[in-house]
Structure 1
Amino acid sequence: MNSYLLHKTPLATQVELASKLRVLRKQAGYSQAELALRSGVSLGSIKRFERTGKISLESLVQLAHLLDCLDDFDSVFVSRQVDKRVEKLFT
């Protein structure tokens, strides 16, 4: 990721998610093959995700469910209206 950017790129976010999944998978004691078997996500998809950050949303949700991280999606796409109102106070 370019250190001069103010926001992460989509690719940087994908790679970061893949890295976090790899850490959680290892903490749970799962090999990639065991994670595939338990989650219903193909081994190829898991390998590709950990290598490139590319995965379908459905597969990502299945992996999050298995690793007890499904609630982490609650903070995705939340309204930022309150933040915008507060921001206006300072401009």
Structure 2
Amino acid sequence: MNVTLPPELERFVQDKIKSGLFDSEAEVVRAALRLMEDQDRPILWAEGSIREKIAAGLASLKAGQGVDGEAVFERMETEMDEEEARSRS
């Protein structure tokens, strides 16, 4: 695989090699890709988790187990009001 980098990234790669941290351009690129992979892993996990929750919610709705949205918001408001009242006491 051949990759063309803009001049500033080419300098960055060369600086990493000159620093002695890496022996080759390929090592720098591999390290960068590993970091990207590590950064992406939690995001991919979260996306999968969210998709699972959405699928479970849709299945509940299809099974007639949904809840009234207005009732949920009213309950949340009541709970927040109660918590606020407790914190003032």
TM-score range, shorter chain: 0.3 to 0.5
Q: Which has more radius of gyration?
A: 2
The structure with the largest helix share of the pair is 2
TM-score, structure 2 length as denominator?
0.32
TM-score, structure 1 length as denominator?
0.32
